[in-house]
Copies of this chain bind each other. A is one copy, B any other.
Amino acid sequence: MSPKGETGTELSEQARVAVVATVEAARRSSRVLARASTQQKNAALGAMAHALADGRARILEANREDVEGARTTQLSPALIDRLRLDETRLGEMITSIEAVAALPDPVGQILASWRRPNGLEIQKVRVPLGVVGIVYESRPNVTSDCACLCLKSGNAVVLRGGSESFHSNRAIAASLQGALRRQGLPPEAIGAIPVPGRGAVDLLLQLDQLIDVVIPRGGEALIRKIVERSRIPVIKHAKGVCHVYVDEDADPEMAEAIALNAKCQRPATCNAMETLLVHERLAATWLPRVITRLQAQGVEIRGDERAAAVAPGIARASDQDWSTEYLALILSVRVVRSLDEAIEHIARYGSAHSDAIVTKDEARAARFLREVDSAAVYVNASTRFTDGFEFGLGAEIGISTDRLHARGPMGLEELTTYKYVVRGTGQVRQ
């Protein structure tokens, strides 16, 4: 047996059959979804929003069960908070579904068309990916967010949330499936894996004849495990070690505002700054003041030797720090001699997510934008804008840290592929 074939052995035969049946049903339904009209899909999304509102009591009851379970197994308060649903959060889930219904339908869009000298008319047309597998942790809103994005883009979805949110996810999925059924669409297009435990994920990742892509959303360990085990193509949503480089020709006030925003506005996100790089000309003047401001907002600073020289008392960064995604109010700070040193630092330690330069010098800005190879590169703006909504995509299923298929924020279009439609008048190849 192949290396990737050795997993998934923890499951009982009954559980295995249940998982495969769910995925096979999603596969079958994907052909119906791919052909559904925009009107049908929008009507279904409207029904899904209603169903969450109508099912409120059942969903919140299921969620209480999960939260109690999480307390019993002593999950961290932060995790329990992410797990908890209330009227407000449920209201946000409903609003999200309505927002997706209002977005343009990507399916059927003609991406390009041309005519060949032999008269063949070729069109490149957007079509759904097919069946999208989502493996995620904790937050039950992911269940409805992903279900509605996949539905709008004509895909069936197979959802596999964390065991800690099993009851919540099941209740949400049941409501959404009921809505599809009432709208004449196959409820199996929103597939919820009916078995808790890790073995079900391992099995899922073997089903490459049934699932077209797996999108993992969660911590580094989850994502690594999935990449290692999956036979199905994976689009990773991994870590963001984001940098702001303050150039010698930066506007000092702008640089300060951007540094504070990129670090403090929401430090637990992947597009928050983790390392501040400062040109040596600003080390003695600009940096100490900004460090004080950051510290006043609760940020712990870990600096290199030259940063420590101008801001005595800060901790020293280890080599490990430069490549760490803190997701917290911690910041590493390095003083660099040049733009080149900044670019080299980012290439060596960064994660190619989002990186910014603050400068008034156009030539250096252009070099940074060209030579820093990240999903999003910024001049004179906060890294926090790397986000489907902020970019204007209207929605987001996540932020890809991969280079293939989709890079950066993934909206509806990134949940599609294309096919070539070729019209002839009897052409044969010579």
Residues of A participating in the B interface, judged by any CB pair closer than 8 Å:
2-7, 31, 34-35, 114, 116, 120, 122, 127, 129-130, 208, 212-213, 225, 227-229, 231, 233-235, 251, 254, 257-258, 260-262, 265-266, 347, 365, 369-371, 373-382, 384-386, 390-392, 402-405, 407-408, 417-429
What residues of B have a CB within 8 angstroms of the CB of A419 in the complex? Answer: 373-377, 407-408
Q: Given A212-B403, A347-B31, A404-B129, are A429 and B3 also a contact pair (CB < 8 Å)? A: no
**Does B265 contact A403, Cβ atoms closer than 8 Å?**
no
A424 to B234, CA, bound (A): 33
**Does B373 contact A116, Cβ atoms closer than 8 Å?**
no
**Does A5 contact B408, Cβ atoms closer than 8 Å?**
no
**Does B31 contact A427, Cβ atoms closer than 8 Å?**
no
Closest 5 CB pairs of A and B: A381-B424, A261-B428, A384-B429, A2-B228, A405-B405
Q: Can you list 5 A-B pairs, Cβ within 8 angstroms, ordered by A? A: A258-B428, A376-B422, A377-B421, A381-B422, A382-B427
**Does B422 contact A378, Cβ atoms closer than 8 Å?**
yes
Query: How many monomers of this protein are in the complex?
Result: 2
- From B376, B390, B422, B428, contact of A379 by CB (8 A): B422
**Does B427 contact A381, Cβ atoms closer than 8 Å?**
yes
The distance from the CB of A240 to the nearest CB of chain B, in whole angstroms, is 14
**Does A404 contact B417, Cβ atoms closer than 8 Å?**
yes
What residues of B have a CB within 8 angstroms of the CB of A425 in the complex? Answer: 380-381
What residues of B have a CB within 8 angstroms of the CB of A262 in the complex? Answer: 428
Q: Given A371-B35, A405-B405, are A257 and B426 also a contact pair (CB < 8 Å)? A: yes
**Does A34 contact B373, Cβ atoms closer than 8 Å?**
yes
Look across to chain B and name the residue whose beta carbon is closest to the beta carbon of A374. B419
- From B3, B208, B229, B402, contact of A233 by CB (8 A): B402
